[in-house]
Structure formats: structure tokens, C-alpha cells
């Protein structure tokens, strides 16, 4: 299963990232000189207080926000130097993103929400729908496949969002508080699932979390403080 290339080269390498919001005197230095390398099969947890820059970092890595300076090497490209449309196709093809606010399409049911990335990538409905159903089954949502987001609890929407992020077998999974609305039992279930999908050759998983129970599952925990990485702690060696 594992190829040498996949296991030896990092999946994503971010160097000297800076991101500032606002201008003049009223700016916020959200990310201030972050370096990050994520390896194949690595599950990284990003922690830090509210406002420390966690979501911003994830958005830079996913090309959803533009860095002011620095580079992000992924799949042979520097995301910081790509056009918006090229980033959109790269993300559709090779990334799975779970947003802090889920961002599900309100008019589509769970199956269609999960199938959407495949349909956008040009796959036919007949092929896409069974794959979407299988992903919903993996996150324990087989009983609510036909429900629209408004008919689902926060935790259920979060699991649909996770299924949608996994449906295209991405190289990079970026998840912002993927267990934020879940109870303890479902948090552990989603973490087990994330660990399982994270151990795929050629794939890195980066999860922002406030929850130490989620960080316990990670290979490595990065703590952000005022937009900078404060510590690197290999799990089990603290
Ligand atoms: N679009 C924006 N415009 C202006 N400032 C922003 C914007 N997005 C984030 N910020 C600011 O950048 C800083 C980092 O925000 P970010 O959302 O990355 O924090 P976070 O660590 O994800 O916080 P939380 O744990 O509350 O989700 C904060 O000071 C925030 O107010
Ligand atoms: Mg956030």
C-alpha cells in the first residue's frame, strides 16, 4: 500500500507564514511567522486560546485566505502563488475541509451535501451517491441520509461535514473544531474515525481543537499563541 515517495516526502510544508487582517493602526497580526511541515499519515492537533490564529492558519493552508507572505508547498505547487481558480480545483481534488461553522448547503439533504464534491469534480450521480452514502455510514449518519441541515442537530451536521470532507479521498484533511458540537461518546467516535482515515499513505490530517481529549489522539500537538507556534509536543513524550 505505502509507496516510498508517499511516506518519505512531506504532504504540506508551510514556511514563514504571515497574515494580517485590517490596515493602518487597526490591524490584527493573526499569523506571525509560522512554519509547519506535515508528514504522510501524520495527525496534527492545533490548539491555542480563542483568537490565537488557529482558524486563520487552517484557512491559509487550505487556500481559503491568502497569506501576506511566506509559502505553502502542496502537491508540487506553492499555494501562495496560485490563482484563485487553480486553488479551487486543487482543493476540490486533493483537500477535505471541515469548517468551524459546517458550511453545509441548506437546500440539499445529507447525501447530496456529501456527494457535492464528487459531482463538482465531474463524477456522475449514479457513482457519487453510493460513495456519499458509504461515507455517511462511516460517520454514523446512515439513519439521517435524507435530512436537510436544518433538520439535523449541530453534532449531526458536524458529522455530515466530516463525511463531505472525506468523500474525495483527500491528501490533506483540514478540520476546524470537528468535534465542537459533539458529546463525549461521539467525540471519541469521530476521533477514532479521524485516526483511521489519517493513517492513509500520502495523507496528512490537521485538526484545530480546544478539546484535550481530541489532542490525545494526535501524533503531534502544536500550540498557537498570538499567531506563533509556542510549543511542539510529541504525544506520549511530555
Ligand atoms: N476576517 C477577519 N477580519 C479581521 N480580523 C479577523 C478576521 N478573522 C480573524 N480575525 C482576527 O484574527 C485573530 C485570529 O483569529 P482566528 O479566527 O484565527 O482565531 P482562532 O484561534 O480560530 O479563535 P477561536 O478559537 O475563537 O475560533 C483574532 O484576533 C481575530 O479577531
Ligand atoms: Mg477558530
Strand partners, 31: 19
Question: Separation of 55 CA from ligand 1 center, angstroms?
Answer: 7
Give a yes or no: residue 142 inside a domain. Answer: no
| Mean pLDDT, range 145-171, rounded to an integer | 93
Provide the mean pLDDT of the chain.
90
220: alpha, beta or left, given left = phi > 0 and alpha = psi -120 to 50?
beta
By residue range, what is the domain housing residue 182? 4-99+170-234
How many degrees, rounded to 5, is the angle at CA 170 between CA 208 and CA 91?
Answer: 80
Ligand nearest to the CA of 222: 1
Comparing CA positions, the residue from 172, 140, 171 lying closest to residue 158 is: 140
pLDDT-derived band of residue 1, with 50, 70 and 90 as boundaries? very low
pLDDT of 221 > 50? The answer is: yes
164 close to 113: Cβ distance less than 8 angstroms: yes
Give a yes or no: residue 163 inside a domain.
no
- 238 by Cβ neighbours in 10 Å (0-12 / 13-18 / 19+) ranks as exposed
The domain spanning residue 65 has which CATH number? Answer: 3.40.50.300
- Dihedral over alpha carbons 193, 57, 229, 187 (to 10 degrees): -20
pLDDT class of 25 with cuts at 50, 70, 90: confident
Domain assignment present for residue 199? The answer is yes
Q: Is 50 in the pocket of ligand 1 (CB under 6 A)?
A: yes
Pocket test for ligand 1, best of 26, 51, 66, 224 (most atoms within 8 A of CB): 51
What is the pLDDT at residue 154? 84
214: in domain: yes
Question: How confident is the model at residue 81, as a pLDDT?
Answer: 96
55 lines ligand 1 (CB under 6 A): yes
22 in a domain, yes or no?
yes
- Confirm whether 145 is domain-assigned: no
Residue 54 alpha carbon to ligand 1 centre in Å: 8
Query: Is there a domain that residue 130 lies in?
Result: no
Best of 53, 67, 209, 224 for a ligand 1 pocket test (most atoms within 8 Å of beta carbon): 53
Atom index in ligand 1 nearest the CA of residue 227 equals 14
Residue 144 located in a structural domain: no
Percent of the chain with pLDDT over 90: 71
Q: Is the pLDDT of residue 215 over 80?
A: yes
pLDDT of residue 48: 96
DSSP 3: -
223 touches ligand 1 (CB under 6 Å): no
Q: Is the CB of 56 under 6 A from ligand 1?
A: yes
Q: Is the pLDDT score of 188 beyond 50?
A: yes
Total tally of structural domains belonging to the chain: 1
39-93, pLDDT tens digit by residue? 999 999 999 999 999 999 999 999 999 999 999 999 999 999 999 999 999 999 9
Asked if residue 234 has pLDDT above 60, the reply is no
Q: Report whether pLDDT(119) > 80.
A: yes
Pocket test for ligand 1, best of 54, 206, 225 (most atoms within 8 A of CB): 54
pLDDT in tens, 128-142: 999 999 999 988 899
**52 close to ligand 1 (CB < 6 Angstrom):** yes
Query: Which pLDDT value is given to residue 238?
Result: 44
Amino acid at each position: 500500500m505505502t509507496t516510498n515517495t508517499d511516506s518519505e516526502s512531506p504532504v504540506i510544508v508551510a514556511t514563514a507564514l504571515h497574515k494580517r487582517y485590517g490596515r493602518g493602526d487597526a490591524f490584527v497580526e493573526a499569523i506571525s511567522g509560522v512554519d509547519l511541515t506535515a508528514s504522510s499519515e501524520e495527525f496534527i492537533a492545533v490548539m491555542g486560546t480563542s483568537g490565537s490564529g488557529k482558524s486563520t492558519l487552517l484557512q491559509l493552508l487550505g487556500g481559503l485566505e491568502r497569506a501576506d507572505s511566506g509559502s505553502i508547498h502542496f502537491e508540487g505547487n506553492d499555494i501562495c502563488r496560485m490563482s484563485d481558480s487553480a486553488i479551487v480545483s486543487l482543493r476540490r481534488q486533493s483537500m477535505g475541509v471541515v469548517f468551524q461553522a459546517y458550511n453545509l448547503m441548506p437546500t440539499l439533504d445529507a447525501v447530496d451535501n456529501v456527494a457535492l464534491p464528487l459531482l463538482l469534480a465531474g463524477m456522475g450521480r449514479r457513482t457519487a451517491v453510493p460513495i456519499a452514502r458509504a461515507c455517511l455510514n462511516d460517520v454514523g449518519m446512515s439513519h439521517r441520509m435524507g435530512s436537510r441541515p436544518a433538520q439535523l442537530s449541530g453534532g449531526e451536521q458536524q458529522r455530515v461535514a466530516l463525511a463531505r470532507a472525506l468523500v474525495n479521498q483527500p491528501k490533506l484533511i483540514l478540520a476546524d473544531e470537528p468535534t465542537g458540537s459533539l458529546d463525549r461518546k461521539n467525540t471519541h467516535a469521530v476521533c477514532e474515525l479521524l485516526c483511521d482515515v489519517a493513517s492513509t499513505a500520502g495523507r496528512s490530517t490537521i485538526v484545530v481543537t480546544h478539546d484535550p481529549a481530541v489532542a490525545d489522539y494526535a501524533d503531534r500537538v502544536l500550540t498557537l499563541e498570538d499567531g506563533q507556534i509556542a510549543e511542539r509536543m510529541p504525544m506520549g513524550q511530555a
